[in-house]
Chain A
Amino acid sequence: MNLFIFFMLTAMFILLLPIIMSNTQLYKNNLYPHYVKTTISYAFTISMIPAMMFVSSGQETIVSNWHWLSIQTLKLSLSFKLDYFSIIFIPVALFVTWSIMEFSMWYMHTDPYINRFFKYLLMFLITMMILVTANNLFQLFIGWEGVGIMSFLLIGWWYGRADANTAALQAILYNRIGDVGFITAMAWFLANMNAWDFQQIFITQHENLNIPLLGLLLAATGKSAQFGLHPWLPSAMEGPTPVSALLHSSTMVVAGVFLLIRFYPLMEHNKTMQTLTLCLGAITTLFTAICALTQNDIKKIVAFSTSSQLGLMIVTIGVNQPHLAFLHICTHAFFKAMLFMCSGSIIHSLNDEQDIRKMGGLYKPMPFTTSSLIIGSLALTGMPFLTGFYSKDLIIETANTSYTNAWALLVTLIATSLTAAYSTRIMFFALLGQPRFNSLSPINENNPHLINSIKRLLIGSIFAGYLISHNIPPTTIPQMTMPHYLKLTALAVTITGFILALELNLAAKNLKFKYPSNLFKFSNLLGYFPIVMHRLPSTMSLTMSQKSASMLLDMIWLENVLPKSISHFQMKMSTTVSNQKGLVKLYFLSFMITLTLSLLLLSFHE
């Protein structure tokens, strides 16, 4: 009997304390952000203890505290599942959140509602923790909806801006469509397996699990912005940068992937679902990488990069490697959050300038941000032995050597090279060259909050991959032997992407093109997807319902079907068929002459 459960539950309870304190005087003074940040750092330290216990002994726990209610034969209780996935994810998430909280103490310093901002971020973190430690689908759904609500509140933080409100609403709507899939899965599990607990679901044998798995895939599509339900993620960049760093890169958007990873015992026997997942992830990663190539807002490029990496995680689940996907979630959190924080640093220093065409030459004035941006981008693209390498390269190797869909594999490789291309684009436009911004903004990065937070994530981006992947218990055996050209595939396509992008950027640096080409327009307008899909289905359904409500009964059935159609038809027919000229009197005269003539002729017959 060790203190595993105690430490874990203490860590989570500590997170609740600032929320409980929000009615007291503590919430009103300006040390509250500091308090929240320290709380999270303590929670991180305490949660590292169970993590190290797990690493050394492989102990997993399920904590079932409180029996909430029983609905006939369904028992709902408060139940925490502290297994491989939760125990490793919680310290990573807390570490990244700690850095983001410290960063937002600098970024949101002049905001009058900064205490509320921190409270919202903390509530988001708590609901995310509920999501990852849930042992039954009901608790997971509570966390799922909670992160959705907090996302809405945080994206619309600057609610005076109309774009922010529409972006928040868009996030809620797209997530709702995914929730339909989630509830389908819950209903199916309830009806067929009489349980929402993972243990019972995984034990019960069922021949055809397509319906709930499709529902879960739809839920992941909604929450993790896969193709078809993806436009909310770039629009969510309307929120403040700490929100983008926490929610829409490290934590919330991986909730969908996390859900699919949780259900891996069901998915590993269902080839159809794996193919679907693979193709969905492949098309997402390629499409969003293409869209990222021509965006001009630095946060949008990083948002599309997140979307592309999420597609890569879904591809990994599709090749039946959930543990690798989880590793990629953990490593991705580090460098993606850092990329967002560096973007925030640049944006603030240039007086809220987000367009990369108006940045440039930040290499000398902001050396720390420059170096962390470059290291983050290199980690993202999978530079050997940085963080991203340990997960991304393994994913590509596994996909290359498995019996999988060749199109999906090819598309993933192309997307990997495009990752390098748009990362080069960010670095080229934001950091290199001559400055293109107004010269009067004071550029400095000498605030310790900024420096320390980015520094922590920097250390994480360099070393976390090594540390995590060498300390986790082995789960699936990675492919050890493969031909050398397969082994070097990821590196080769990445280097190709880098070189190509650098050459193109340098060659076209001062060229201006008059008319954008069709491919450019496709990429810049996000594949025309939001333009078409936000207007066309709604217009069509509203028009159709208006027409059927007002015109169907009255105009069509009562007026047009019999009366007008008969008259119209008759008129058409008569004008088509008749070849008469309307000389009525002549016709009558011919009657009479015929009559008289015949009478006369016939009466004088013998």
Chain B
Amino acid sequence: MSMVYVNMFLAFIMSLMGLLMYRSHLMSSLLCLEGMMLSLFIMMTVTILNNHFTLANMTPIILLVFAACEAALGLSLLVMVSNTYGTDYVQNLNLLQC
């Protein structure tokens, strides 16, 4: 596999690690989610352009739309938590209470 793809793949893995392992702020998890989306987008665009998959040219844009939606959802959850507790520390989510 060429170095470009390995590079972007590594970026994806880094962001995934960041998503799954973080200390206290929920916001850092969301930021890493954005990073994942970014690396996926770049990988997809480079592959399509290099291999001339002409009919798949709109796929990255669709990916971007869905990434925006899920970012909004994540942010609204963050806002809900922040409304209740004042901060977004993830150790606040220990009670089964809304």
Assembled-state Cα–Cα distance A589/B18 (Å): 11
Minimum CB–CB distance from A290 to chain B (whole Å) comes to: 60
Is the CB–CB distance between A571 and B96 below 8 Å?
Answer: no
Is the CB–CB distance between B90 and A585 below 8 Å?
Answer: yes
Is the CB–CB distance between B19 and A588 below 8 Å?
Answer: yes
Assembled-state Cα–Cα distance A578/B96 (Å): 8
Minimum CB–CB distance from B11 to chain A (whole Å) comes to: 16
Assembled-state Cα–Cα distance A584/B28 (Å): 13
Within 8 A of B (CB), among A567-606: 571, 574-575, 578, 580-585, 588-589, 591-592, 595
Is the CB–CB distance between B96 and A581 below 8 Å?
Answer: yes
Within 8 A of A (CB), among B49-98: 90, 93-96, 98
Assembled-state Cα–Cα distance A585/B16 (Å): 14
Is the CB–CB distance between B90 and A584 below 8 Å?
Answer: yes
Is the CB–CB distance between B20 and A589 below 8 Å?
Answer: yes
Assembled-state Cα–Cα distance A394/B93 (Å): 90
A578 neighbours in B (Cβ, 8 Å):
96
Is the CB–CB distance between B93 and A575 below 8 Å?
Answer: no
Which of B20, B94, B98 is close to A581, meaning CB atoms less than 8 Å apart? B94
Is the CB–CB distance between A584 and B20 below 8 Å?
Answer: no
Assembled-state Cα–Cα distance A578/B22 (Å): 24
Within 8 A of B (CB), among A310-326: none
Question: Among the interface residues A571, A574, A585, A589, which one has the most CB atoms of the partner chain B within 10 A?
Answer: A585
Decide: A582 near B20, CB < 8 A? Known: A571-B98, A575-B98. no
Is B14 among interface residues, defined by CB-CB distance under 8 A? Answer: no
Decide: A592 near B21, CB < 8 A? Known: A571-B98, A575-B98. yes
Is B42 among interface residues, defined by CB-CB distance under 8 A? Answer: no
Question: Among the interface residues B16, B20, B22, B94, which one has the most CB atoms of the partner chain A within 10 A?
Answer: B20
Is B46 among interface residues, defined by CB-CB distance under 8 A? Answer: no
A574 neighbours in B (Cβ, 8 Å):
98
Decide: A592 near B17, CB < 8 A? Known: A585-B22, A585-B90. yes
Assembled-state Cα–Cα distance A582/B17 (Å): 20
Residues of B in contact (CB 8 Å), total 13
Is the CB–CB distance between B96 and A575 below 8 Å?
Answer: yes
Assembled-state Cα–Cα distance A580/B95 (Å): 9
Minimum CB–CB distance from B79 to chain A (whole Å) comes to: 15
Assembled-state Cα–Cα distance A588/B90 (Å): 12
Residues of A in contact (CB 8 Å), total 15
Assembled-state Cα–Cα distance A175/B95 (Å): 67
Closest residue of B by beta carbon distance from A592: B20
Which of B16, B21, B22, B93 is close to A582, meaning CB atoms less than 8 Å apart? B93
Assembled-state Cα–Cα distance A581/B91 (Å): 11
Which of B21, B93, B94, B95 is close to A588, meaning CB atoms less than 8 Å apart? B21
B94 neighbours in A (Cβ, 8 Å):
581-583
Closest residue of B by beta carbon distance from A593: B20
Assembled-state Cα–Cα distance A589/B16 (Å): 11
A595 neighbours in B (Cβ, 8 Å):
16
B90 neighbours in A (Cβ, 8 Å):
584-585
Query: SS class of chain A's interface: helix, strand, loop or mixed?
Result: helix
Encoded as 1 (CB less than 8 Å from any A CB) or 0, chain B from 2 to 38 comes to 0000000000000011011110000001000000000
B17 neighbours in A (Cβ, 8 Å):
592
Minimum CB–CB distance from B10 to chain A (whole Å) comes to: 14
A582 neighbours in B (Cβ, 8 Å):
93-96
A575 neighbours in B (Cβ, 8 Å):
96, 98
Assembled-state Cα–Cα distance A55/B20 (Å): 115
Encoded as 1 (CB less than 8 Å from any B CB) or 0, chain A from 553 to 577 comes to 0000000000000000001001100
Assembled-state Cα–Cα distance A584/B90 (Å): 7
A583 neighbours in B (Cβ, 8 Å):
94
Minimum CB–CB distance from A341 to chain B (whole Å) comes to: 78
Minimum CB–CB distance from A305 to chain B (whole Å) comes to: 69
Closest residue of B by beta carbon distance from A590: B20
A581 neighbours in B (Cβ, 8 Å):
94, 96
Closest residue of A by beta carbon distance from B17: A592
Closest residue of B by beta carbon distance from A583: B94
Minimum CB–CB distance from A581 to chain B (whole Å) comes to: 7
Is the CB–CB distance between B96 and A588 below 8 Å?
Answer: no
Closest residue of A by beta carbon distance from B91: A585
Minimum CB–CB distance from A588 to chain B (whole Å) comes to: 4
Minimum CB–CB distance from A567 to chain B (whole Å) comes to: 9
Is the CB–CB distance between A584 and B93 below 8 Å?
Answer: yes
B19 neighbours in A (Cβ, 8 Å):
588
Minimum CB–CB distance from A213 to chain B (whole Å) comes to: 65
Assembled-state Cα–Cα distance A147/B21 (Å): 94
Minimum CB–CB distance from A501 to chain B (whole Å) comes to: 71
Closest residue of A by beta carbon distance from B95: A582
Minimum CB–CB distance from B24 to chain A (whole Å) comes to: 9
Minimum CB–CB distance from B70 to chain A (whole Å) comes to: 17
Closest residue of B by beta carbon distance from A585: B90
Question: Among the interface residues A580, A581, A584, A589, which one has the most CB atoms of the partner chain B within 10 A?
Answer: A584
Is the CB–CB distance between A591 and B20 below 8 Å?
Answer: yes
Is the CB–CB distance between B20 and A588 below 8 Å?
Answer: yes
Minimum CB–CB distance from A427 to chain B (whole Å) comes to: 76
Assembled-state Cα–Cα distance A588/B98 (Å): 21
Minimum CB–CB distance from B97 to chain A (whole Å) comes to: 8
B96 neighbours in A (Cβ, 8 Å):
575, 578, 580-582
Closest residue of B by beta carbon distance from A588: B20
Minimum CB–CB distance from B14 to chain A (whole Å) comes to: 12
Assembled-state Cα–Cα distance A574/B93 (Å): 14
Minimum CB–CB distance from B44 to chain A (whole Å) comes to: 21
Question: Among the interface residues B22, B29, B93, which one has the most CB atoms of the partner chain A within 10 A?
Answer: B93
Minimum CB–CB distance from B91 to chain A (whole Å) comes to: 8
Assembled-state Cα–Cα distance A583/B96 (Å): 11
- Contacts A/B (CB < 8 Å), 6 sampled: A571-B98, A581-B94, A582-B94, A582-B95, A583-B94, A592-B20
Given contacts A583-B94, A588-B29, 9 further A-B contacts (CB under 8 A): A578-B96, A580-B96, A581-B94, A582-B93, A582-B94, A582-B95, A585-B21, A589-B21, A592-B16
Please name the 4 residue pairs, one residue from A and one from B, whose CB atoms are nearest each other, closest first.
Answer: A582-B93, A588-B20, A592-B20, A582-B94
